[in-house]
Amino acid sequence: MLKQSLKLKLSQKLSPQQIQLMKLIQLPVLDFEQKLKQEIEENPALEIVETAPSDDEFNKDENIDVEEYINDDEIPDYKLKSYNSSEHEENTIPYASGISFNQLILNQLHTERLDEFEMRIAEFLVGCIDEGGYIRQSLEDVIDDLAFTQNIIVEYETINNILKTIQNLDPAGIGARTLQECLSLQLRRKQSNNLDTILALELIDNSFDLFTKRHFEKLLVKYHISEKELKRAIKEVEKLNPKPGNSLSNNSTKLIEQVIPDFKIEIINNELLLSLNGRNKPVMNVSREYTEMLKGYSLEKNRKSQKDAVQFIKQKLDSAKWFIEAIEQREQTLMLTMRAIMTYQQDYFLSGDEKKIRPMILKNIANVINMDVSTISRVANSKYVDTPYGTKLIKEFFSESMTNNDGKEISTIEIKKILEKIIFDEDKRKPETDDSLVKLLFKEGYKIARRTVSKYREQLNIPVARLRKQL
């Protein structure tokens, strides 16, 4: 039995303009400049000027109705929308136009003596290499993939020999399936008559588990060697690159990250002064040439050929006006948000003492400036601020709160700094376990559970005690 019913539903949806504004707010300085360049290239009615226009010059607030765009009411509204910035545009990091990581490997591969069948398999294997330089699949899985996707049937021995060919390419360690194999490949490239290298290779190939777990006493007994010999072998391993793919991918596929602060905080007469990077606030105008062109068409407004031109010009002018207004809104949002953060963390910015960083979550700032939490997140996640104590990522000032043994509310940032110092000062021959770290933090006045200590240690990228052990 079919049944029809009418149901009303109230939902909130962002307009394309609001979506574009949110994207503009999120962009750091370099990406923002790239966006400006793209808009100017795509919209001839938009121009950037070196200095602000004088009062007698045309500016973005001038009324350019020109008889309401020559009484062009019959032009459908959908035709007047600007598509310079697609609402479906993804917020991606731009990549450098160069030779890709996999292509660099393929270029070397094509100098090897492989027949057509072997080359197809080799190219498939190269495509399986991840950014770190590893092939994470087993050869059995690769054989299955070749059969199902490429209709290529290959024996294990054949594909294993082709993989060895790839592993002989540069950088050393490329095409490894495990960290152990990666380190072993690199050591085999070194001089075989070096005793330290020979011992290091022996440790990696035949005692990898003992080596990674830092069971040094067992290694000394097993190989009948001295501490000095073991230390020299460990240094040989430490020289190796655990992710050989990074040496290629960082230089060939991604732009080198360059930190340019969006804000600057200065202390003048014991007061904080906040400013926005000038590169964030360009002076932009709607093109006078396009405005005059539109006025000129008003003399012959009845001709259909002119209406098409008017439609195009109107679209570009509307888009230019909106983009200029969006830049102004972006600046206001950035300054309003950062000023609230600066005020909230005033004690830190005046002193530089990280113990004075207050617990602060996104909602705290959102409530102060009456904005959505998502907007605060967009500003904090991708922006840097130049302070008297160095350039800082804004999101680092956000943290949850905990109560110390005196009942005082403190930031988790403070606890992490204490934890980091305790581990830095520990005896590396007998590093502190997470249980002992709990006791040491309690002596400092912080009562924290073991699982929390483990979480903070991992967030600080500090390994467990056994992996911090040194001779």
Distance, first Cα to last Cα, the chain: 79
Q: Name the region of 407 (left: φ>0; alpha: ψ -120 to 50; beta: rest).
A: left
Q: Is residue 315 part of a domain?
A: yes
Same domain, 211 and 238: yes
Q: How would you label 194-214 residue by residue, b for 16+ Cβ within 10 Å and e otherwise? A: eebbbbbbbbbeeebeebeeb
What is the model's pLDDT at position 249?
54
In a domain, 91, yes or no: no
CA distance 434 to 451: 8
Same domain, yes or no: 364 and 421: no
Say which CATH number the domain at 429 has: 1.10.10.60
Element (H, E) at 366: helix 362-369
User: Taken in order 378, 382, 385, 389, is the CA torsion positive or negative?
Assistant: positive
Spacing of C-alpha 77 from chain mean position: 39
Does residue 58 lie within any of the structural domains? no
Give the SS3 label for residue 378: helix
Mean pLDDT by groups of 10 residues along the chain of 471 residues: 57 62 82 83 75 43 43 40 40 43 85 91 92 91 90 94 93 93 92 85 93 90 93 90 74 52 92 87 72 61 64 78 86 93 93 86 91 88 88 86 74 84 88 89 86 86 83 75
Residue 70 is assigned to a structural domain of this protein: no
243 and 283: one domain?
A: no
Specify whether 295 is located in the same domain as 391.
yes
What does the pLDDT read at residue 368? 92
Neighbours of 264 (CB within 10 A): 16
Question: Which pLDDT score, from 0 to 100, does residue 95 have?
Answer: 36
The verdict on 365 and 415 lying in the same domain is no
Within-domain flag for 81: no
Cα separation, 220 vs 240, whole angstroms: 22
3-state secondary structure of 187: helix
Q: How many CA atoms does the CB half-sphere of 424 hold within 13 Å?
A: 8
**pTM, 2 dp:** 0.52
Q: Are residues 394 and 459 in the same domain?
A: no
Last residue of a domain, one of 398, 427, 459: 398
User: Would residue 73 count as lying in a domain?
Assistant: no
Buried b (16+ CB within 10 A) or exposed e, 315-335: bbbbbbbbbbebbeebeebbb
Nearest Cα residue to 384 out of 371, 395, 399: 395
**pLDDT at residue 271 in the model:** 93
Given this model, what pLDDT does residue 17 score? 67
Distance CA 84, CA 467 (A): 53
Tell me: cis bond preceding 171? Omega within 30 of 0 counts.
Answer: yes
Class of residue 415 by CB neighbours under 10 A (exposed 0-12, middle 13-18, buried 19+) = buried
Domain ends where: 225, 252, 279? 252
Domain stops at, among 365, 398, 431: 398
Residue 2 lies in a domain: no
Whether residue 153 sits in one domain with residue 187: yes
- 296 in the same domain as 438: no
Do 236 and 276 reside in the same domain of the chain? Answer: no
- Say if 322 falls within a structural domain: yes
Full residue range of the structural domain in which residue 287 is found: 20-47+258-398
Q: Are residues 247 and 292 in the same domain?
A: no
Same domain, 386 and 412: no
pLDDT at 88: 40
Do 339 and 223 lie in one domain? The reply is no
Residues 6+ apart with CB under 8 A from 230: 199, 216, 219, 220, 223, 471
Q: Number of structural domains, the chain?
A: 3
> Looking at the DSSP assignment, which residues form a beta bridge with residue 339?
none
